[in-house]
Amino acid sequence: MVVFFCPLVLLVKLYQIRLAFLLQIPYCFFACMGVYLYQKEQREVIKMTNEKLEMMKQYLRDNNLTSQVREFTQIGVTAEGAIEYVYDAHTMSREDFKAKYLN
């Protein structure tokens, strides 16, 4: 603790820097790092979501289920929601599907 405050006191005396400003620097640094890490995590989630969505699309194309997705999008469901719904309807068990969409 003494090691931390000695250079701080020296900076305040030599450069007449306000102590409050010096104490804010670490907080700003850690806040910026927190924002950076949160954004990095969100980019990874979006990347995983896009990969999962592409896998679902490929499954629907391979099994000729694109017409069902088109029907859902025509009634106002988003494309991603329609793809996920149709994919889940064909790959999940009835109990799991009920739990996810009807409860």
Q: How many other C-beta atoms are found inside a 10 Å radius of the C-beta of residue 55?
A: 11
Q: Are 52 and 25 in contact (CB under 8 A)?
A: no
Number of domains in the chain: 1
Rounded CA separation 6/3 (Å)? 6
Range of the domain at 61: 2-101
Which amino acid, 12? Answer: V
pTM of the predicted model, to two decimals? 0.56
Tens-place pLDDT, residues 10-66:
555 555 555 555 555 555 555 555 665 666 666 766 676 888 899 999 999 999 999
